[in-house]
Structure 1
Amino acid sequence: MHNHQHDIKLSKQRFTLVTLLNLAITLAEIIGGLLSGSLALLSDAFHNFGDSFAIILSYSAQLIAGQKRSPSQTYGYKRAEILAALLNSLFLVVMSVFLSFAALKRLGHPETIDGPVMLTVAIIGLLANLISALLLASSSKHNLNIKATYLHILSDALSSLAVIGVGLVLTFIPADWLDPLLTILVSGYIIWEAWPIIKKTLIILMEAAPDLDYAAIKADILQIPNVTSIHHIHAWMIDEHDIIFSAHINLSNCQLSQAEVIYSQIERLLQTKYHISHTTIQAEYQRGLNEDLFDSKNPY
């Protein structure tokens, strides 16, 4: 099971440094884009500005998610990070679509690009983006929220690398159509990378069932002494790590003290084998004995 104690959170120092780096890149690329006439450089500036927004949103969500559970939020505030990941990814997609349309218009009417200016600013942007990516890399492995922010930074590093290549070409060859073409290609890549995060966050927010082997869970629980049946189960995710599971089980006519032992066995089984964080069991004797694993008649 994933151990949350090993999660590397985005520290205040890293947050501040990455935000300042991205704001500096944004300013440099806006000036460079206006001076050189490069749409790719301006699009990269918008991406970097979006990164600054994403980092602030990501860090704020992380602080909210760390708050303790309360009577009004009995499962805590972990969904704040899922919402932040969704918003960051959607922002990337909308921005990429907007820039792609602008690039398509530019393809029909290419403008002269100042290759050396474009090249210089892109190199500065690449170095700053690589530093930011390194600062976020370890934290992105176990956290959808930070992963979405890391994707922002990584996409900009790729964009800066591509702009460098185009800048080199334009320094020696007047191929101004390369600039809008690059914008379209990078925007397409960003959308491709953002979609899985959008899909996963929506699945979590819709409380869709996690990918569990329910037949195997049923078989394992039925192996526990005094358990005669299991039915009416529910499973959902609080975030990308925490799975919640509830079920009704039928027991033989045993004492309450024995039922508690069975509860503990089921909880241990589900936690160690299926990585389920929280389990709620309702014990019954004959009620629901012949019901299906999933109760289609009762929505809850």
Structure 2
Amino acid sequence: MITVAEFLGGIFSGSLALLSDAIHNLGDSAAIVMAYVANRISKRGSNRSKTFGYRRAEILASFLNALFLILISVFLMVEAIKRFSNPEPINGSLMLIVAVIGFLANFVSAGLLSKGSKNNLNIKATYLHVLSDALSSVGVIFGALMIQFFKITWVDPVVTMLVSIYIIWESIPLLKDTTNILMQAGPNLDYKTLDCDMRKVDGVVNVHHIHAWLIDENRIMFSAHINVEDRMLSEIEPIYRQLEELLKTKYHVDHVTLQAEVTRGKESPIFTNKIKDV
């Protein structure tokens, strides 16, 4: 309701700053709804078409939300630049009333969420979203006061620019992180130490063709080829178990796939650029 009120207030008052704040509120509301829906989807089990399950539904939702916020913010900044050369009349009193209502609603919501945010990451994320909405509303209130009492209309596009820049600043890290996960970027692991730790396991001669990637922001997938002495498969399995325990406890890997070899790839580096060796 607050978002609708700010949209209507922005349209009828002629304030871009109020519209940008409404976009911020809409983006945060959409983020919460999309996160909830994506979380429900992500709990589905794996099947023939999605062998890793639906964990990336949440990542895709976050990516789309961040992209949407950035595009809308850029549009508002372009409109704000146009307002500098072609100013339009603004109803400062209506802008002020709607901005104050928006601030109070967000402030109360943040207060209700603050206690639960200490022990729950999901609530904490929602709390930070609502708190940022309240802070952006402060900027709109300031702009409305300048327009109402000093007739300084250029402050409206200035506030719009500031709020839009703030939204982009918040969204770019999220867009970067989600893009990295969707592109199967490697997690932040100490691969040199990891390689040494794996070689210390009795029976492991060499480690090569390491691949590590993220299914979501928390789950790490890992695969590697290990060179071992020529022995029976039943003697290899205890080595697998030791390596899996090492990777899961020290490096927080969720899923480990290992391929044992005797001489094949023994001189290969731990990483490779050859697609056929993936």
TM-score between both structures, scaled by the size of structure 1: 0.83
Q: C-alpha distance in 2, partners of 1:297/1:275?
A: 27
Identity %: 53
In structure 2, do the counterparts of structure 1 residues 112 and 297 end up closer, same or farther at CA, with 3 Å as the change threshold? closer
The equivalences for 1:108-187 within 5 A come to 108-133=85-110, 135=113, 138=117, 153-187=130-164
1:215-272 C-alpha deviation (Å, 9 max, x unpaired): 1111111111111111111111100111100011111233433321111111111111
1:74-115 C-alpha deviation (Å, 9 max, x unpaired): 111010000000000000001101111111111123233333
- The residue aligned with 1:282 is 259
Q: C-alpha distance in 2, partners of 1:36/1:140?
A: 41
- The residue aligned with 1:240 is 217
In structure 2, do the counterparts of structure 1 residues 101 and 139 end up closer, same or farther at CA, with 3 Å as the change threshold? farther
- The residue aligned with 2:187 is 210
1:87 to 45, 52, 64: 64
In structure 2, do the counterparts of structure 1 residues 51 and 296 end up closer, same or farther at CA, with 3 Å as the change threshold? closer
- The residue aligned with 2:171 is 194
Q: C-alpha distance in 1, partners of 2:119/2:62?
A: 11
Q: Please say if residues 92 and 152 of structure 1, whose CA atoms lie closer than 8 Å, have aligned partners that are also in contact.
A: no
- The residue aligned with 1:258 is 235
Q: C-alpha distance in 1, partners of 2:184/2:157?
A: 41
Which residue type is aligned with residue 211 of structure 1?
A: N
- The residue aligned with 1:55 is 32
Of 115-124 and 76-85, deviating more is: 115-124
Please report how far the alpha carbon of residue 53 of structure 1 lies from its aligned counterpart in structure 2 after TM superposition: 3.3
Of 217-226 and 162-171, deviating more is: 162-171
CA RMSD of aligned residues (A): 2.5
In structure 2, do the counterparts of structure 1 residues 202 and 132 end up closer, same or farther at CA, with 3 Å as the change threshold? farther
Q: Which runs of 5+ in 1 are unaligned?
A: 1-23
In structure 2, do the counterparts of structure 1 residues 30 and 214 end up closer, same or farther at CA, with 3 Å as the change threshold? closer
TM-score between both structures, scaled by the size of structure 2: 0.89
